[in-house]
Structure 1
């Protein structure tokens, strides 16, 4: 018997992932990937984005397995048919897909190269996988429905032609689910971001979807409108508002003389229509030109130029640049790099003492500062708000053995500013008076890290060494979290997380050795950013890439040494400013707990 390994199935993805962590010039650590070329009315895609057929591999078992894990990709109504073509006729009814029900695809990540064992009369294939999620017809990636980690099936020739492969291979005793590899998801789908208003309709919140590349261009606008009218992904629903009941697309969107027209069944509410226009403009970020929103074929909201609407109603109102800071010898200090703005520490010198870590943000012409400080061998949260530099701070009444990096919630800026912090394994909300209130996450295990998205309505949490995301809504003097959704990633022993983009996280853990990965908000896409780390990452921060074109950056700390991306390099002591005398390396201490101010 001859044992063969399929190395190419994962190799391409790892090569692409490795490219993300090397050779990137300063301040261009992350690029914001657009949704692709603008759709043109009247054009068609033909066979674009269609997965390979059963016979495309010329009877090569390795290629056949790759193709089988791609067969379900494309338009949902053909997924069942495409997979059946790969299966031996006598075994096709083993697929557990009911006609007339929604077709969902089990998205899996191979945890090792598939093993193919040849014998004279059969070939046995073993797939060891991680369940990532269920791809639904609305483009959402829902949590997985099974915990199966191994699939075994056989390959054979056409029944009656055993030993001959002239007609290609077939799957015998197939998996009962429609499998789709994460590589196929990356290859045959377009990742798109659509937007929903938060519950008080003051801020747009991103939602990730997948659109098959096989969908013709002229239908893409219709698909996005259907997604918006159907509502957000299940995990995001508690943090956003829905369109009015019974809102639906009447006919497919059309384009005439360069103008898109969308005809809806929807209540005639002037304010809601204008907001829907903004929501649609951002959800169709690859389009420009005019858009006419009609209700029952009567024009109600005409947008002369979609790009202008996006410019007039930005998703994120943040500075184009950030400043880097760190903790050095117990105080917050600026870091200086060529081509980057640098300014004094936003904390009054008298209060800038005994600092372990800090979370500082700009809001409404003010500075929001949260410092973790030492006090008699324990730690407290010290919070202050005001003009730069902040001079009045209040410390938490209770001290803790360990307090994590505090994060401010941008969703609360217009009201009472608030943030989240981890202390002694629990998650807490804090306010401007340093009052800490426990927040129930509803998942097992101690909480070790928390991060908040740029919109302020989504959080990422590490609890029980697992990664979760949850929707968040301000609720009077507190916050309300929706059910936490677990994300499955290749990394283990997770230690730190932050938001790296609208729909991506930066995550520290172990992949054979300590590493930092970029991971999509649903866990499906991941790429290695850095794996030449000699110790566990204990602190990780990011300036997130976002929809208005700002590029991202990252910094982390491991074994008491801080690093910055671009590519990752050590932050030398001489980069630390406002130190007298200036540190010159050698015996100088190391800067720690770096963070971004923006």
Structure 2
């Protein structure tokens, strides 16, 4: 089967296929698109954007507060000084000096409008916030340290007798605050890549680069990020560069030729080849060559474009199909813009199905089905077939409720996946055996989703969103320590991975909704602000321009299935190969929608 490639996400990264071993593919019949949909680029306003000055808001107190919460944005070595310019001269003089490397910004999400109350000679400002994370100078957003839900400070007039002279802050907060809106506006979200724990594939790690950083410094910044190592929550699933790897001076170059000089212990040919691949994908906008020197000695020249073409990331079938469960069986869904779907499960085993996970593995189809028994309990059934799954192996035990299973990418190895059953997370294999996964986290697991790289998962535990890495050492996937994400959504009920560093999340914001949430929880966009009922099932086709289903998702709420692009209810008329109900009876509803790609 010919395959085309899923376009990369965040920063226009190309998303390509990785094979086992060192990531060199054994098949090359691919077509490459250069850009993902606009939704991927809208999270930043681009480079060169400086945060506002104190004077920019004039006499508008609300605008001043908004600008004060953006003042720390930009290059870390000047963040402290930018904030100090907003503070009264008398209080500014008593503040200690800080180096850029010591600066960490408390990213907060305002949960309500700032309250600004006039006083005798000033205005009292109260902001109510959700703590999102701590943005370090190295571009890494780590879990928050602060626990405050409110901050108070005062505004005093810069010159009472002068119109539009603006304000200064008095009694400022004791931390450098940055609003999530300022993070979105004045930073570019970037992906850098580390090799998986078994060194077979690249895994993205999110960073934030200030838009004010000159383009010629981007290479140096990315290399510093790589030498500093992965985010803490990813460490169990990836390998860092060798200990004590450091950059010697800044990277130099332009016009298609760059040079980097490193001190990298153990830099043999294999390590340099892998480093070249990391750099090529971590610098996706660069073409031309990059020369790697070790202690001033030239060791490798990387053709960045060729390195990306020959060391690919993800293989995705562009001819995705939509399916659903109708009357206990899997059926194809149709639309005018979509090709007719072939039935992936043979009729002999296509019955009593509650929900399903379908995936392609080369020319085979993998099916993980939740089937209902006559006793009202549920069981996992797993099958594999060339084109069609004709037989199923059933799990060892029955459960009261089993959630939607997910397959984990295995690159030609034995298939495996994850599923939630009766509030616990289980790992399953191609033989349908199930083993409980210990998360080291108390609470009831509600849902699980797997990233395309096969090294990261998203989890819902007690209605809260989490992420974790997978360690594949020894060939058996183990889920690492979880990281809790702060989002506006409460009572989270479903999650799905639908882009490299983005999640679909269903929960509540006073009403049931679906949000697009970054993998660190910092950036979020409402996609469906009122679904009417609680969403208990999400399915997505990852972002790409290669298919009419690009960036699409489906969901189920209150026993009814819906689709996006455009948002509409999925009706029985869109279900293929079903028998009309007897006269006088209403048709059933399609449920548990799923993509096959």
Q: By the TM > 0.5 criterion, same fold?
A: yes
1:292 aligns with 291
Q: What CA deviation, in whole Å up to 9, does each residue of 1:213-270 have, x standing for no partner? A: 1111111111011111211111111111111222221121111553111222223311
CA drift at 1:94: 7.7
The RMSD of aligned alpha carbons is 2.5
Q: Distance in 1 between matches of 2:186 and 2:583?
A: 52
2:241 aligns with 243
Q: Distance in 2 between matches of 1:218 and 1:295?
A: 21
The equivalences for 1:221-260 within 5 A come to: 221-260=219-258
1:593 aligns with 592
**Contact 2:37–2:545 (CA<8 Å) still a contact in 1?**
no
CA drift at 1:272: 1.6
Q: Distance in 2 between matches of 1:96 and 1:357?
A: 59
**Contact 1:50–1:74 (CA<8 Å) still a contact in 2?**
yes
CA drift at 1:443: 2.1
Q: Distance in 2 between matches of 1:199 and 1:85?
A: 46
**Contact 2:131–2:146 (CA<8 Å) still a contact in 1?**
yes
1:278 aligns with 277
Q: Distance in 2 between matches of 1:96 and 1:582?
A: 76
1:32 aligns with 40
1:13 aligns with none
Question: 1:313–1:477: structure 2 CA closer, same or farther, 3 Å change rule?
Answer: closer
Q: What CA deviation, in whole Å up to 9, does each residue of 1:352-411 have, x standing for no partner? A: 11000001111133221110010121111111123221122111121111000000110x
Question: 1:590–1:63: structure 2 CA closer, same or farther, 3 Å change rule?
Answer: same
Instruction: Select between 507-516 and 162-171 the one with higher mean Cα deviation.
Output: 162-171
**Contact 2:537–2:557 (CA<8 Å) still a contact in 1?**
yes
**Contact 2:379–2:399 (CA<8 Å) still a contact in 1?**
yes
Question: 1:584–1:229: structure 2 CA closer, same or farther, 3 Å change rule?
Answer: farther
- SS of equivalent to 1:225: helix
1:377 aligns with 376
Q: Distance in 2 between matches of 1:94 and 1:585?
A: 81
Q: Distance in 2 between matches of 1:198 and 1:286?
A: 23
1:116 aligns with 116
**Contact 1:509–1:536 (CA<8 Å) still a contact in 2?**
yes
2:26 aligns with none
Structure-2-length-normalised TM-score: 0.89
Q: Distance in 2 between matches of 1:364 and 1:99?
A: 52
Q: Distance in 2 between matches of 1:584 and 1:544?
A: 40
Question: 1:369–1:512: structure 2 CA closer, same or farther, 3 Å change rule?
Answer: same
Q: Distance in 2 between matches of 1:583 and 1:165?
A: 78
**Contact 1:157–1:165 (CA<8 Å) still a contact in 2?**
no
**Contact 1:382–1:393 (CA<8 Å) still a contact in 2?**
yes
2:145 aligns with 145
Q: Distance in 2 between matches of 1:537 and 1:362?
A: 26
The gaps in structure 2 that reach 5 residues or longer are: 1-35
Q: Does 1:398 align with 2:397?
A: yes
Question: 1:29–1:537: structure 2 CA closer, same or farther, 3 Å change rule?
Answer: farther
**Contact 2:44–2:189 (CA<8 Å) still a contact in 1?**
no
Q: Distance in 1 between matches of 2:472 and 2:122?
A: 60
- SS of equivalent to 1:220: helix
Question: 1:584–1:97: structure 2 CA closer, same or farther, 3 Å change rule?
Answer: farther
Question: 1:113–1:97: structure 2 CA closer, same or farther, 3 Å change rule?
Answer: farther
Q: What CA deviation, in whole Å up to 9, does each residue of 1:96-116 have, x standing for no partner? A: 885586210000000011111
The equivalences for 1:212-361 within 5 A come to: 212-266=210-264, 267-304=266-303, 306-361=304-359
**Contact 2:188–2:208 (CA<8 Å) still a contact in 1?**
yes
Q: Distance in 2 between matches of 1:137 and 1:370?
A: 44
**Contact 2:79–2:100 (CA<8 Å) still a contact in 1?**
no
Q: Distance in 2 between matches of 1:32 and 1:484?
A: 26
Structure-1-length-normalised TM-score: 0.88
Q: Distance in 2 between matches of 1:443 and 1:137?
A: 30
- SS of equivalent to 2:277: helix
